[in-house]
Structure 1
Amino acid sequence: MTSIDRLTDLCPPPPTALSTNWSSTEQALGMQLPTDYKQIADTYGPGAFCGFLHLYHPYAPTQWTSLTGPMSATIRTQLQHDRDSGTHPVPHDPRHLFAIGVTDNGEYLFWLTEPADAPEKWTIAGTEARGPRWFTYAGGLADFLTAVLSGCETVPLFPDSLLAQGVFFSPTTAAPTSTSVGTAAQPPAGMTADSRDIRAWARANGYDVPDRGRIPVAILEAWENPGNG
């Protein structure tokens, strides 16, 4: 049984998902991607595991949750600043960290992209929201998700109640049917931005935003009018 088979047996995917142009996606990113990630993205599409862990996807509804959007570079720049200034310890070279997901609480999930030309050997790392703690997993993304969702792997940064409602995947309900790879996907007309996207954008741009509750008006205005910041 393959890694993706174990994951789908544990967490059934939606009946349909988007078909991704991986050649164009990898060309836009300038790197090859792990096979298991491409299988997960094609099988599940954009969405969240247990309503908590959101993987970035090439066809996500906003640029802030798109694999080809600006988040990975923005987060890498922040980590480099933290490492250089000593604000927070960063146990890995930020140049080798590529952000691939975010939780509802603001923890980021990364690939450790070493060796750069061997994506099947990339492992997983994560950091807490605006804090010093990190975790690592010595395996690929599909194995990591299976270990976490089965309860075999405990991530100290994740809530104890993660599996309290069972194991499930919630697809994004308003994902675009197509997008120009390399260009950030935009929400469909009339779609309200997800608060998770706004919080992720705010943290990446240096705003102090609470994990829960009302998002300050100033941050909402900055999100809606980024060119005025």
Structure 2
Amino acid sequence: MNEAVQQLTHVLPLPASCGQSKDWNEVSRAVGTELPADYKQFIETFGGGYVDQHLWVLEPGCANEHYDLITGIKHGDEALEGLWELVEKPRELASGGRLIVWATTDNGEIGYWLARPGQSPEQWTVMVNDESGTVWEHFDMGFARFLLSALDRDIVSEVLSYAFPKDPHGFEPSGDFV
């Protein structure tokens, strides 16, 4: 298991109905790319859910379409197309690449993977965008390391709410919100 995912099992409470096996080949077909192993391990360990009453980690196949990864990516791609007509792309996209949604918040912030040309999903880093679509942060780390570092306050996002993270940490499965 990925070290950061393993550490997250000690930081976040594991819900009674945690994790689900997924057909990752089918998910990859629907998304149009493989996904990072740490994300897949997180979903199989925790499932998608609400972290510290702020950050929704999206899950493929979630019964609630608002927290479904595939639906989120589709809506995210459409929203970005419109956004690029209004604002300049972040400099991290200057050499191409794709932003792939993996999280949302109740405030409208969005967590993305930055998938650059020629990179494997294990090399993707994290970008966070504010609700206006104009402020971007780049974190040179993958999904699980980002989540762990944010919860441990090893990194601080200027975009995510000041109320994130909470103490003690919480995790509520998306399935509880169907």
Distance 1:174 1:146 in 2: 23
Distance apart, 1:116 and its partner CA: 5.1
- Describe the SS at the equivalent of 2:26: helix
Counterpart residue number, 1:90 = 89
The normalised TM-score by structure 1 is 0.68
Bigger strand fraction: 2
The 1:173/1:81 distance shift into structure 2, 3 A limit, reads closer
Distance 2:107 2:113 in 1: 19
Distance 1:73 1:28 in 2: 10
Counterpart residue number, 2:157 = 155
Unaligned runs of 5+ in 2: none
- Describe the SS at the equivalent of 1:32: coil
The normalised TM-score by structure 2 is 0.86
Q: Deviations over 1:25-76 (max 9, x none)?
A: 112222111000000111111211101100110121223321122x323322
Q: State the identity %.
A: 25
- Describe the SS at the equivalent of 1:112: strand
The 1:98/1:106 distance shift into structure 2, 3 A limit, reads same
Pairs within 5 Å for 1:43-192: 43-69=45-71, 71-84=72-85, 87-91=86-90, 92-93=92-93, 96-115=98-117, 118-174=120-176
Larger Rg: 1
Unaligned runs of 5+ in 1: 176-190, 192-229
- Describe the SS at the equivalent of 1:68: helix
Distance 2:176 2:104 in 1: 19
The 1:13/1:116 distance shift into structure 2, 3 A limit, reads farther
Question: May I ask how many residue pairs the two structures share in their alignment?
Answer: 173
Distance 1:26 1:173 in 2: 22
